[in-house]
Amino acid sequence: MKSLYLGERAEKGLIKLGTVIIPGDKDLPSFSQLEQLQEIDIMLKELPKDDREGLIILLSILSLLPKFIIKVLLLIIEKGATVNGPIGSPFRLLNMGLKGPVFTLYYSNNSEQNQEILNKLNYATQINMKEEDLMLQKVKNNELIENPNQEQIEEIFNNAKKNQKALRNIPLSSRVKQVQNLLITIRDNEELIIKKIQEDTKKSAGDALVSEFFGVLDYLHFLVDNAEKALKDEKIKTPIALLGKKSRVYYESLGTMLIISPWNYPFYQAIVPIATSYICGNITLYKPSEVTPLRGLIEDLLLKAGIDLDFIKVIYGDGKVGSQLIDQRPDKIFFTGSVNTGKKIMQQAAQYIIPVELELGGKDASIVFEDCNLKRAAKGVAWGALTNLGQSCTSVERIYVHSAVYEAFKTELLNEVRSLKQEISKDGDFGHMTSHMQTKIVAEHVKDALSKNAKLLTGNNWDYESDAIPPLVLEDISEEMLIYNEETFGPVLPLIKFTNEKEVIDDINASDLGLSASLWSKDKAKCDRVTRELNVGNVSVNNVMLTEGNPYLPFGGRKYSGIGTYKGISGIRSFAISKSVLIDADSSKIEVNWYPYTEKKYIGFSLMTKYAFTKGLLNFVKFALKGIGLESYSQKAKR
Amino acid sequence: MYDMIIIGAGPSGCFLANEYVQKGMKCLLLEAGEHYQRHTYPRSELTGNSKLYWSGGIELNSRADIGFLRPKAVGGGSIVNQALLDPFDDIAFDAWREKSKLNFFKKENFQPYYEQVLNNVPTQEIPKEFRNRNAEIFKEGFEKNGYQCAPLVRAQKNCQYEKGNDCIECLNGCRIDSKQSSAITALPKALDGGLELRDKMTVIKIEILFNKCYVSAVDEFNEQYTFESGYITLASGAIGNTKILKMSGFDKKLPALGKNFYTHPQFMSLAFYDEVINSHKGPFQAMKSDDANFRKNNFKLENVFGPPVALSMLIPSFGKSHMQRMKDISKIACIEVAIRDFIPGEIKVNSKGKVKIIKNLKGIDLETKQKGLEAIHNIFKSTGAKEIIDGQFGIGLHLMGGCGIGSSDSKSVTTENFHLHSSRRIFLADSSIFPSAPGINPSLTIMAQSLMASEKILKEVS
């Protein structure tokens, strides 16, 4: 039992008191055998402060008394409670205050054990939920779409087509409102969400809170504020040659959007693309990683927010299911994950010309110049390399340090890294690896580096097996090592010495990957120069992994790191499809560019073209006159 | 800036809000409790008691022998009650007229408003075929003793008893939206009409300065907000309204504030039978007393039951004997006496803002209880009960008065135009203005009275 309100002593007192009141018998468990004693917090949270504190003191006192004394006290209290008038009042208060919590916890809590107790009392009640509420129940009972077979997958797509029409009837403003509801629902379910994320990922509570929970709310806030702006019909300039006509761009739903997400940020990578896709009016099919499915959580939150699950389907399964889904030809695929899987998805999508958006891996560098604040840079680099235990596509995986400050920076970094705490609780800096498969890759990279003369400066106690990988600072890194070239996706901090700017830029740009980079320097001109030279999608200057922190900034990689961007206004639009529209009025007018193409028209058009694309006021006047002449000729020209 | 801020989203608040917005007023409805949907209602007594009532479930009088159940949710009492809709009779209105010195308290004046409510709130008589054994015992006992009873009419639409639904589950909110709480009758119409609702917002103070009203409230994180409006409607019930007014210093000009508090104290009696009764199954309350003699003697009997925690608190003692008793709850029949109380209580608020309720059962009210218990025992004995346990503890579900309506500004708080004697900007029309205890379920009359009041209030503010 771990109550947030009761101290150890009061907990002991409660169990003692409870066992006197409910000692258990052959059919029923005793109070001390209850599994959900911490549910007393539900009660204590709502009690007025004075009453709560009084109860805690009372229970603490009881913890010191032997059971038979408690029994005698209860008997006296019961007797006293029957005395009418003010004399009996304190006894009645005690009678209620002591029995109330015990009976409530025992005869009603939210556990399965409670059902067993009520069954023993022959007390069973039920309510048959309405059809539309049954899904909620299913979510609760975990009856989810799991490893669907071919037939079920076809049905999902058939239904998606039908539901596209229904979804089109929900206007954008209503979808925005629903996403706002989703934001509130998520905000109000912090405890549940963090717990679910931690169960599946083993990441620290802080990592789950900062990157996933806060990150999602921050993005949804942006989305709610900007979706209507991003998706409203756009007025487009019409050139003078098309005088009198109007041009527009409409942003429309794609149809059915398939989202496939990785295991490193299972909540963020679910909600962010799902909400964007839904707000754009797509039927959204979402396949989480089989490693971190967060079973039922997404459906639960969507339903609580009042979003119809016919429009958003969560489909659980492995890569094979993903491939079967692609074969049903969704209208677009949004994939986040490894380079290898990304290539396979693109290959499969190529058969059907399905557009893909790929957010793939990185081997991101952080450049520490000699003129920066070393302490800040060291703290920043440590966080960038270790947040989520390095399991981020934009984790710092190569640390370039100027030779002039190499030793000093190393000392700062080692101090920082050694001060950190690996613990899943709220008080821990980072947790454990989510996937043991990834632990093996980290082991392989580190062993390979050490065999090629790299030096391990921290984490010597790691056994290359445990998922609780400590931070691994390495030096003497060279180009032939795996850790230099390939994404490690773990808590590694390889230090690389450099002497000049050009060398480090060339080195970074030589990589096949081009996701993001960070740099640390006082010199603004240098920062700007290097930022422009780096062939990566995102750069944080004097900070790290922070472009993702601003939902207004588009995010995406270059080269093998991916195609396209999401987030930002352009990112919202990447979940929609644009339609270009040119509107003219109904009239009897015959356009200049229509038939017949007579010789006279040819000469006129040729001259007009020349005037149109030559600068100068006189030419503009000639162009206008020629245009008017051609217009009037076109009305009567005949073959 | 709003035209009207309504404080409390119970039956009165929801109905009034709807009338206001339909007339084009810009309104804000503040509610301390949560706005639940049918699938988000609490599923256990533990969670339900804690979340749907003030102070974690129950508030006690100063002598700790009556507990008050004060609902806290959008929909208020209509979320957790048994949705009994009974109009008042002449006896009730005569008493109100006499006490308030206001002549419009007449059955014929309320009739059109009763009809208007019932046109908007579907009701159903509990079908005979779904009555459970507890209801049958009730009926048999009444017949054997020459008492009159009648089937119950409740605000509900489609409880689907044929599917085996048990209404006792809906004491924490109806999960199939069959119970016609004001959260699903008046409120959706009001929201469609432009009402703004903010739940989990507890009002701590109201102020009037230079013809503007300021309402201060705190959210669930204790963050403070202040809202401005032209007028305020208080609809937080007897205790809520009194507390807000006292904390805002209105008691100085309103000597009767908090006085004349009534609550229809109810006492449940349990009877053990040899047969299985399963009082918790089906509609669980299908009959009511309908006896002129009972009415004359100021009590009525109800065919109720309680879920396990409630029963455990009624069954005396503890330890193994108590557990043994609990294993027999399927063999318990239950009847409750509800007392039309004449000796008023008083609602006080201490300096820390904590409510203290003085309400003692004595004199004529105690005699009424004895008469009721006698009838209950007659019913149980005539139907073969083995043992009867009378609940020692009274329950106050109908919280009335504290801001009573009347012509005298020393003896009442609210005027015949439904505003405070001391301010034309603060209106009230809920159970807090009841001049005395009617002895009949107040729910229908609260809604009708709110509709009646809305006409006067709208005239007053225009």
Percent of chain A with pLDDT over 90: 84
User: Which among B38, B56, B60 has CB closest to A133?
Assistant: B38
Say whether A126 and B166 touch across the interface (CB within 8 A).
yes
Structure tokens at B313: 């608190």
Structure tokens at A396: 């710092």
- Return the pLDDT at A191: 86
Q: How many helices (H) and strands (E) does chain A have?
A: 25, 19
User: Which among A88, A122, A133 has CB closest to B39?
Assistant: A133
Q: List the single best residue of B34, B35, B39 to mutate versus A (max A Cβ within 10 A).
A: B39
Cβ-based contacts of A25 with chain B (< 8 Å): 320, 323-324
- Mean pLDDT for all residues in chain A: 93
pLDDT, one tens digit per residue, over B33-70 is: 999 988 789 889 999 999 999 999 999 999 999 999 99
Query: Considering only residues 335 to 354 of chain B, which have any Cβ-Cβ distance to chain A shorter than 8 Å?
Result: 354
Percent of chain A with pLDDT over 70: 97
User: Which among B40, B165, B316 has CB closest to A128?
Assistant: B165
In this complex, how many residue pairs, one in chain A and one in chain B, have their CB atoms less than 8 Å apart?
159
User: Which among B56, B63, B160 has CB closest to A89?
Assistant: B63
Q: Is the pLDDT reported for residue A162 higher than 80?
A: yes
Burial of B236 (0-12, 13-18, 19+ CB in 10 A): buried
- Return the pLDDT at B39: 79
Say if B392 is an interface residue toward chain A (CB within 8 Å): yes
Range with the lowest mean pLDDT among A124-128, A222-226, B407-411? Answer: A124-128
- Return the pLDDT at A138: 63
Phi, psi of A166, deg, nearest 5: -60, -40
Say whether A133 and B313 touch across the interface (CB within 8 A).
no
A578 Ramachandran zone, left/alpha/beta (phi>0; psi -120 to 50): beta
Structure tokens at A495: 């230090």
User: Which among A86, A93, A105 has CB closest to B60?
Assistant: A93
Q: List the single best residue of A5, A46, A70 to mutate versus B (max B Cβ within 10 A).
A: A46
Task: Give how far A273 is from chain B: nearest CA, Å.
Answer: 26
Q: List the single best residue of A41, A71, A104 to mutate versus B (max B Cβ within 10 A).
A: A104
Task: Give how far A72 is from chain B: nearest CA, Å.
Answer: 12
Q: Is the pLDDT reported for residue A142 higher than 70?
A: no
CA-based nearest residue to A334, from A576, A578, A548, A158: A576
- Return the pLDDT at A55: 95
Say whether A136 and B39 touch across the interface (CB within 8 A).
yes
Q: First CA to last CA across chain A, in angstroms? A: 95
- Which residue intervals of chain B bear CATH 3.50.50.60? 1-36+86-120+182-258+400-462
Query: With contact defined as beta carbons under 8 Å apart, do A301 and A190 qualify?
Result: no
Query: Considering only residues 295 to 324 of chain B, which have any Cβ-Cβ distance to chain A shorter than 8 Å?
Result: 307-309, 312-313, 316-320, 322-324
In the block, tokens 């340090």 appear at A401
In the block, tokens 């993001």 appear at A516
- Return the pLDDT at B166: 94
Structure tokens at A629: 């002449």
User: Which among A42, A43, A121 has CB closest to B308?
Assistant: A121
Whole-number Å distance between alpha carbons of A114 and A265: 35
**Overall CATH class of domain B54-67+124-168+264-396:** alpha beta
- Return the pLDDT at A141: 56
Say if B40 is an interface residue toward chain A (CB within 8 Å): yes
**Overall CATH class of domain A156-359:** alpha beta
pLDDT, one tens digit per residue, over A92-132 is: 999 999 999 999 999 998 888 898 999 999 998 888 776 55
pLDDT, one tens digit per residue, over B276-331 is: 999 999 999 999 999 999 999 999 999 999 999 999 999 999 999 999 999 999 99
Q: Is the pLDDT reported for residue B332 higher than 90?
A: yes
pLDDT, one tens digit per residue, over A510-528 is: 999 999 999 999 999 999 9
pLDDT, one tens digit per residue, over A417-438 is: 999 999 888 889 999 999 999 9
Say if B280 is an interface residue toward chain A (CB within 8 Å): yes
Task: Give how far B152 is from chain A: nearest CA, Å.
Answer: 21
Say whether B46 and A123 touch across the interface (CB within 8 A).
no
Structure tokens at A234: 């756009």
Whole-number Å distance between alpha carbons of A338 and A259: 14
Say whether A43 and B50 touch across the interface (CB within 8 A).
yes
Whole-number Å distance between alpha carbons of B433 and B261: 10
Q: Is the pLDDT reported for residue B126 higher than 70?
A: yes
CA closest to A82 among chain B residues:
B392
Cβ-based contacts of B37 with chain A (< 8 Å): 306
Q: Is the pLDDT reported for residue A466 higher than 70?
A: yes
Whole-number Å distance between alpha carbons of A388 and A465: 18
Say whether B46 and A110 touch across the interface (CB within 8 A).
yes
Instruction: State mean pLDDT over A193-219.
Output: 94
DSSP H stretches of helix in B26-129: 45-52, 77-80, 90-100, 107-120
- Return the pLDDT at A143: 65
CA-based nearest residue to B283, from B301, B313, B305, B267: B305
Instruction: State mean pLDDT over A284-294.
Output: 96
- Which residue intervals of chain B bear CATH 3.30.410? 54-67+124-168+264-396
Same fold, A156-359 and A364-553: no
Query: Considering only residues 349 to 388 of chain B, which have any Cβ-Cβ distance to chain A shorter than 8 Å?
Result: 354
Say if B158 is an interface residue toward chain A (CB within 8 Å): no
CA closest to B317 among chain A residues:
A78
CA closest to A115 among chain B residues:
B44
pLDDT, one tens digit per residue, over A246-269 is: 999 999 999 999 999 999 999 999
Q: What is the secondary structure of A36-104 as a DSSP string? A: -GGGHHHHHHHS-HHHHHHHHHHHHHHHHS-HHHHHHHHHHHHHHHTS-SGGGHHHHHHHHHHHHHHHH
CA closest to A107 among chain B residues:
B309
Whole-number Å distance between alpha carbons of A72 and A89: 19
Structure tokens at A430: 């980072």
pLDDT, one tens digit per residue, over A601-632 is: 999 999 999 999 999 999 999 999 999 999 99
Whole-number Å distance between alpha carbons of B72 and B210: 32
CA dist B52 → A78, A558, B138, B172, B200 (Å)? 28, 54, 30, 7, 12
**Catalytic one of A280, A372, A393, A527:** A393
User: Which among A25, A96, A127 has CB closest to B175?
Assistant: A127
Residue type for B223, please? E
pLDDT, one tens digit per residue, over B133-176 is: 999 999 999 999 999 999 999 999 888 888 889 999 999 999 88
Query: With contact defined as beta carbons under 8 Å apart, do B402 and B411 qualify?
Result: no
Cβ-based contacts of A129 with chain B (< 8 Å): 39, 175-176
Range with the lowest mean pLDDT among A30-39, A359-368, A509-518? Answer: A30-39
- Return the pLDDT at B353: 85
Say if B47 is an interface residue toward chain A (CB within 8 Å): yes
Residue type for A574, please? S
Range with the lowest mean pLDDT among A139-148, A178-187, B324-333? Answer: A139-148
Q: How many residues does chain B have?
A: 462
Query: With contact defined as beta carbons under 8 Å apart, do A309 and A302 qualify?
Result: yes
- Return the pLDDT at A306: 78
pLDDT band at A85 (very low <50, low <70, confident <90, very high): confident
Q: What fold, for A364-553?
A: Aldehyde Dehydrogenase; Chain A, domain 2 (3.40.309)
Whole-number Å distance between alpha carbons of A168 and B173: 34
Instruction: State mean pLDDT over A496-522.
Output: 97
CA dist B441 → A274, B147, B158, B288 (Å)? 49, 20, 22, 11
Dmax over CA atoms of chain B, in Å, equals 69
Say whether A128 and B163 touch across the interface (CB within 8 A).
yes
Cβ-based contacts of A67 with chain B (< 8 Å): none
Say whether B50 and A42 touch across the interface (CB within 8 A).
yes
Q: List the single best residue of B323, B325, B350, B395 to mutate versus A (max A Cβ within 10 A).
A: B323
CA closest to A36 among chain B residues:
B46
Residue type for B149, please? C
Whole-number Å distance between alpha carbons of B362 and B370: 11
What residue spans define the domains of chain A?
8-120, 156-359, 364-553, 599-636
Q: Is the pLDDT reported for residue A32 higher than 90?
A: yes
Give the angle subtended at the CA of A625 by the CAs of A620 and A626, to the nearest 5°: 95
Say whether A110 and B43 touch across the interface (CB within 8 A).
yes
Q: Is the pLDDT reported for residue A307 higher than 90?
A: no
pLDDT band at A546 (very low <50, low <70, confident <90, very high): very high
pLDDT, one tens digit per residue, over B76-119 is: 999 999 999 999 999 999 999 999 999 999 999 999 999 999 99
**Catalytic one of A359, A412, A487, A548:** A359
CA dist A335 → A562, A574, B65, B373 (Å)? 9, 13, 65, 72
Task: Give how far A416 is from chain B: nearest CA, Å.
Answer: 35
Say whether B326 and A89 touch across the interface (CB within 8 A).
no
Cβ-based contacts of B281 with chain A (< 8 Å): 125
CA closest to A72 among chain B residues:
B318
Q: Is the pLDDT reported for residue A408 higher than 60?
A: yes
Say if B170 is an interface residue toward chain A (CB within 8 Å): yes
Task: Give how far A417 is from chain B: nearest CA, Å.
Answer: 36
Query: With contact defined as beta carbons under 8 Å apart, do A412 and A375 qualify?
Result: yes
Query: With contact defined as beta carbons under 8 Å apart, do A257 and A332 qualify?
Result: yes
Contacts of A127 (CB under 8 A, 6+ apart): B165, B166, B169, B170, B175, B176
Q: Is the pLDDT reported for residue A140 higher than 70?
A: no
A359 noted as active-site residue: yes
Say whether A108 and B308 touch across the interface (CB within 8 A).
yes
pLDDT band at A139 (very low <50, low <70, confident <90, very high): low
Q: List the single best residue of B50, B53, B167, B392 to mutate versus A (max A Cβ within 10 A).
A: B50
Structure tokens at B48: 């339900």
Q: What fold, for B1-36+86-120+182-258+400-462?
A: FAD/NAD(P)-binding domain (3.50.50)
Q: How many CB atoms lie within 10 A of CB B424?
A: 14
The beta strand positions in A403-508, using DSSP E, are 455-456, 472-475, 492-498
Phi, psi of A140, deg, nearest 5: -65, -40
